[in-house]
Structure 1
Amino acid sequence: MAQTTPHLALPLLAAAQAGKHVTHNEALLALDALVHLACRDKDLAAPPADPAEGDRYLVAAQTPTGAWAGLSGQIAVFGDGVWTGLVPRPGWLVHVGDEDAFYRFDGARWGGLFDGVRALRNLDALGLGTEAEAGTAFAAKLERALWTARDPADGGSGGLAVVLNKAAPGNAVALLFQTAYSGRAELGLLGEDALGLKVSADGATWRGAWRADPATGHLGLGALGLPGAPMARAPLHVAREGAGPGLCLDAYGAGPVENVIQTRSGRGSRQAPAPIRAGDGLVGLSGGGFFDGGSTDGRVTLRGIAEEDFSATAQGAGFVIEATDLGGTAPRPVVRMRANGALELVARAGVPATGTAPGQIVFDSTLAAFRGHTGAGWVRLSNPPCFRAATSYDNYVGAGAWTRVGFNTGLLNAQGLFRAADNAFVVPEAGVYTFTAALAFKRNGTNAPASLQARFHRNGVTLDGSRRGVAAPIDGVSTVSLGCTLSLAAGDLITVHALFTGTDGYIAAADSDFSGFGLA
């Protein structure tokens, strides 16, 4: 019959045993030592100098000394001035006070109770509520998961970071969202170091939603969202394929609604903005395109600009529309909506040679005039050419010879189209013109011409149908008046010529003039 209990090895009373109280007390002392087992320390290799009655120590040292010699791995209990070693059994637990930790005896050694939990860091796979499968080292079947930062009161920082790391830029690190285990969205570093989001309707075909450039922070939307696409060229860059809008803004409300894109511009920095100056841009829309061999930007632009230095009381601004001429590559302003409320066609030298169509209007700086296209050609819409010329002397005209009248004074010649040196009007542009002339007769001595005649010449050649005359002119009274309307080419010279028959005479300076203007 066993003399000790099978688990705690407590001594048992034997039949007819003498001194039963000794055995009984020994068992009670062992129970007192082992039940709710709590030791003061486990790191001593020799007994403490002044132990208290009932003190217990886990002798973890391999070769303890003094009264603990031979007690390695045992529970040393002090009582009645001596140390007693209690041999542990597998499964015993002990609380070590100075560490506030539990230890477990596995039959060979004492180990921390949670050493097995710490070993999770070396697991090949872990499943929570489900089984981890091959290729999926961690699997969890949950309703909800919470990650929360450790409070500073508990020794934490109050912050929380979830770190996902990859080995090289060409690898992927991502969060994959699925429906029925079929991919629908993937967010992360998708085979590059740019953060991106791609989405799928079927788990097979993926489309880029957005992608952030790690070098610039620019965000690309749409076609720029997939890895391998060009990086965004602006802080917000939208790329799409096919027809339709590239950017759509909706606005709703119970009353009047407004859909506005708001911009603000300033010199200086974001931390210390400075006032903008005249000519600075406030807002802009710019368009370009691709061509064989490359692409270009800003070939057509709508730009809002400051028209004065901004202050608290002066903030004049307007719009400028820029376009690029056919066959050209340099954009230029074509229309301005000025801060004073005026609409301005920006001047250009001449008119467009190509791309003309009915209804087009330009301001021709060469002619200082607005011109419009009729479908057949350009016509002047403003500042029509006009002149009135006189002669500063009585012009002698011999008998029987057509003589150019020497009009040499521009009474009205704002555009400089009457050329006094040639006594001629110079046509500035092709169009329809009308001319008038009045020639007064002055007698030369007692000569009495049979007639006074006059006509217009174009480039020195008679204009048919322009001749007029008067018979037997009276000195100081008779006048010949001319008038004609005709189509002319740019550069044509119009002059007035006179003829006396019978005898000679003069064209009187006092009452003679030559005038004309453009009609279209």
Structure 2
Amino acid sequence: MSQTTRNLALPLIAAGQAQKHVTHNEALTLLDALAQLACLDRDLAAPPVNPAEGDRYIVAGPAPTGAWAGLAGQVVRFEDGVWAASAPRPGWIAYLMDEGALCVFTAAGWTGLGSALGGAASLAGLGIGTQADAGNPFAAKLNAALLTARAPGEGGSGDLRLVLNKEASGNALSLLFQKGYSGRAEIGLAGEDALSAKVSPDGSAWTGAWRIDPATGFVGFGAAASPGAGAPAAPVTAASQPGSPAIEIASHAATGAPEAVLRARIGRGTSSSPGALAAGDRLFTLAGRGYHDGGAYSGDAVSLGAYAEEGFAAGARGTAIEFQTTDLGSTVRRPVLRLRANGALELQPRAGVPAAGASAGQIVFDSTASAFRAYDGVGWQRLGNPVRFCAATNFDNYLAADAWTRVQFNEAAINGQGAFDAGTSRFVAPEAGAYLFGLSLGYRRNGTSSPAGFEARFRRNGVAEAGRCAVPAPVDGLGTLVLTAMLGLAAGDRVEVFARMRGADGYAAGAESQFWGHALG
């Protein structure tokens, strides 16, 4: 029968043994040394110089010296002035007082308890400060936790990456934040591969806060973060319900004036090496689109933008603001208003006036008429550069007896809008409206001719207008015709002056003849 115990090799008292107390005391001494084993060090290969009674060490290998020779890896104790050794067995645990750590003896020798546990696998559960269960195989109840990277000097790389993995796209991989074990927020891959966050006031009703599309990296907020909302249309997309702003910026100040700023910052080149803006570069654009009955969203139908009016320099940064809209019945957006760098407000020219949507108070710049025009509730009225002319002739116009003859006015002293054509002696209405015309014709005799009368009238589009003027038996150098008429004209209508002599021929004196007119209102 063995004279020692199986595990700690404690000496056993033999039957009929004399001095049993010796064996008993030796066993107690071994128990005192090996139970609750705490060693001062495990890095020494030779005994310390002045050990204290009861000191314990784990002898470092591979070739210890002195009284520890041949005892590599064994637990030694200083007892009664000499060193005694005990060979460890697998599973022994010792506390290392100089390291403040536990180590365990395995077939490979003494190793840190943490490293030994690192080989553990298929644990059914692990609880830290609380009990793990089937629903939560890993559970921890604590007030703080720290994960830190192992530095290169500690055998690590300095990096730390926490990997979470799910089986398929339709599975969930998320962090769930709860209050009283009722969900309030969740971040992760919630049944798809898009990273999203959602919140809840009660753990039952959930609202999407933001969502990052995995294909584009575009971020959607609000309604654009809801499941099934589709991919965000831009790098940042904020969607809201009717009556609720998509984006709101709030500012409050305890002292001074509060200020809410939404700022765009641009430059040529790259973010690390920006370059100065050039004239025409856009500083920002706010644009609006709308869904139409063709089953898609329109292009940008309206916009507000700012651009550089000159190349940006330390002392020169001229900018302008531009509004663009789409005309009724059109799909093409165009500039309508600009606030220029010189402080001017500029209406953008358009050919003619709007064909639809006119209402009192509207103002446009009509490039066809080269003038500002305003709508007074009845029609478009010219505000500047009025249609007006005053024409003369530099020669005497011969008038045959009893024949209506067009008087040629070949010079225009005033010719607003270029409406009078000196080549044809005609006024051509550039736009519809009411016009006032006037003429004066001086009489000059042809030789001894004595006409019985001198007459003049206006013709519109070759047709004589009602009303004419006449001078009976005109006197050479004194007889003068004066006629005024107000005509309602359509755009393109022509007005000319015709005159005739009765009974004999004569002349419309060039030096004393004029044809004039202007638009009314």
TM-score w.r.t. the length of structure 2 is: 0.81
Question: Partner residue of 2:59?
Answer: 40
Deviation (angstroms), 1:447: 2.4
Label 1:177 to 1:505 Cα distance change in 2 as closer, same or farther (>3 A). same
Unaligned runs of 5+ in 1: 60-74
Deviation (angstroms), 1:215: 4.5
Provide the rounded CA distance (Å) in 2 between the counterparts of 1:374 and 1:474.
49
Deviation (angstroms), 1:337: 1.1
Provide the rounded CA distance (Å) in 1 between the counterparts of 2:131 and 2:393.
114
Question: Partner residue of 2:248?
Answer: 248
Question: Partner residue of 2:41?
Answer: none
Secondary structure at the aligned position of 2:437 is classed as: strand
User: Which deviates the most, 415-424 or 153-162?
Assistant: 153-162
Question: Partner residue of 1:476?
Answer: 477
Provide the rounded CA distance (Å) in 1 between the counterparts of 2:314 and 2:303.
29
Label 1:397 to 1:157 Cα distance change in 2 as closer, same or farther (>3 A). same
State the one-letter code of the partner of 2:440.
Answer: A
Deviation (angstroms), 1:393: 2.5
Secondary structure at the aligned position of 1:298 is classed as: coil
* Residues 38 and 56 in structure 1, CA contact (< 8 A), matched pair in contact too: no
* Residues 434 and 488 in structure 2, CA contact (< 8 A), matched pair in contact too: yes
User: Which deviates the most, 454-463 or 496-505?
Assistant: 496-505
Label 1:147 to 1:39 Cα distance change in 2 as closer, same or farther (>3 A). closer
Question: Partner residue of 1:64?
Answer: none
* Residues 419 and 430 in structure 2, CA contact (< 8 A), matched pair in contact too: yes
Label 1:87 to 1:476 Cα distance change in 2 as closer, same or farther (>3 A). closer
Label 1:36 to 1:437 Cα distance change in 2 as closer, same or farther (>3 A). same
Question: Partner residue of 2:42?
Answer: none
Where do 1:267-286 residues align within 5 Å? 267-286=268-287
Where do 1:402-481 residues align within 5 Å? 402-464=404-466, 466-481=467-482
Deviations 1:13-62 (A, max 9, x none): 987949x9997998799689867765536x98xxx797736864569xxx
Deviation (angstroms), 1:124: 2.2
The equivalent position to 2:312 in structure 1, one of 310, 313, 316, is 310
Label 1:115 to 1:397 Cα distance change in 2 as closer, same or farther (>3 A). closer
Question: Partner residue of 1:189?
Answer: 189
2:394 equivalent to 1:392: yes
Deviation (angstroms), 1:286: 0.9
State the one-letter code of the partner of 2:241.
Answer: E
User: Which deviates the most, 499-508 or 332-341?
Assistant: 499-508
Question: Partner residue of 1:68?
Answer: none
Label 1:22 to 1:495 Cα distance change in 2 as closer, same or farther (>3 A). closer
2:290 equivalent to 1:289: yes
Question: Partner residue of 1:222?
Answer: 222
The equivalent position to 2:67 in structure 1, one of 19, 31, 52, is 52
* Residues 13 and 23 in structure 1, CA contact (< 8 A), matched pair in contact too: no
State the one-letter code of the partner of 2:493.
Answer: D
Give the count of matched residue pairs.
492
State the one-letter code of the partner of 2:456.
Answer: A
Deviation (angstroms), 1:483: 1.0
Provide the rounded CA distance (Å) in 2 between the counterparts of 1:201 and 1:400.
101
Deviations 1:328-384 (A, max 9, x none): 222111111111111111112222212222222221222211122233332222111
Question: Partner residue of 1:515?
Answer: 516
* Residues 452 and 499 in structure 1, CA contact (< 8 A), matched pair in contact too: yes
* Residues 5 and 12 in structure 1, CA contact (< 8 A), matched pair in contact too: no
Question: Partner residue of 2:200?
Answer: 200
Note the aligned Cα RMSD (angstroms): 4.0
Deviation (angstroms), 1:121: 4.7
Where do 1:116-195 residues align within 5 Å? 117-118=117-118, 121-150=121-150, 160-195=160-195
User: Which deviates the most, 161-170 or 362-371?
Assistant: 161-170
Unaligned runs of 5+ in 2: 35-53
* Residues 190 and 227 in structure 1, CA contact (< 8 A), matched pair in contact too: no
Provide the rounded CA distance (Å) in 1 between the counterparts of 2:431 and 2:324.
27
Label 1:309 to 1:286 Cα distance change in 2 as closer, same or farther (>3 A). same
Deviations 1:165-189 (A, max 9, x none): 2233433221111223222110112
TM-score w.r.t. the length of structure 1 is: 0.81
Deviation (angstroms), 1:479: 0.9
Label 1:111 to 1:461 Cα distance change in 2 as closer, same or farther (>3 A). closer
User: Which deviates the most, 304-313 or 166-175?
Assistant: 166-175
Label 1:31 to 1:376 Cα distance change in 2 as closer, same or farther (>3 A). closer
State the one-letter code of the partner of 1:434.
Answer: L
Deviation (angstroms), 1:487: 1.8
* Residues 455 and 497 in structure 1, CA contact (< 8 A), matched pair in contact too: yes
Deviation (angstroms), 1:434: 0.9
Deviation (angstroms), 1:126: 2.2
Secondary structure at the aligned position of 2:369 is classed as: coil
Deviations 1:463-519 (A, max 9, x none): 22x322222221101211111223211111111122333433211111001011112
Provide the rounded CA distance (Å) in 1 between the counterparts of 2:417 and 2:378.
26
Label 1:382 to 1:168 Cα distance change in 2 as closer, same or farther (>3 A). same
Secondary structure at the aligned position of 1:452 is classed as: strand
Deviations 1:220-252 (A, max 9, x none): 211122344323333322112222322111122
Provide the rounded CA distance (Å) in 1 between the counterparts of 2:322 and 2:116.
75
* Residues 103 and 110 in structure 2, CA contact (< 8 A), matched pair in contact too: no
Provide the rounded CA distance (Å) in 2 between the counterparts of 1:389 and 1:510.
12
* Residues 186 and 197 in structure 2, CA contact (< 8 A), matched pair in contact too: yes
User: Which deviates the most, 189-198 or 436-445?
Assistant: 189-198
Label 1:392 to 1:121 Cα distance change in 2 as closer, same or farther (>3 A). same
State the one-letter code of the partner of 1:456.
Answer: F
Label 1:4 to 1:318 Cα distance change in 2 as closer, same or farther (>3 A). closer
Deviation (angstroms), 1:145: 3.3
Deviation (angstroms), 1:5: 8.8
State the one-letter code of the partner of 2:363.
Answer: I
Provide the rounded CA distance (Å) in 2 between the counterparts of 1:327 and 1:361.
19
User: Which deviates the most, 266-275 or 374-383?
Assistant: 374-383
Label 1:191 to 1:15 Cα distance change in 2 as closer, same or farther (>3 A). closer
* Residues 441 and 474 in structure 1, CA contact (< 8 A), matched pair in contact too: yes
Secondary structure at the aligned position of 2:436 is classed as: strand
* Residues 192 and 227 in structure 1, CA contact (< 8 A), matched pair in contact too: no
Label 1:96 to 1:509 Cα distance change in 2 as closer, same or farther (>3 A). closer
Q: Percent identity?
A: 48
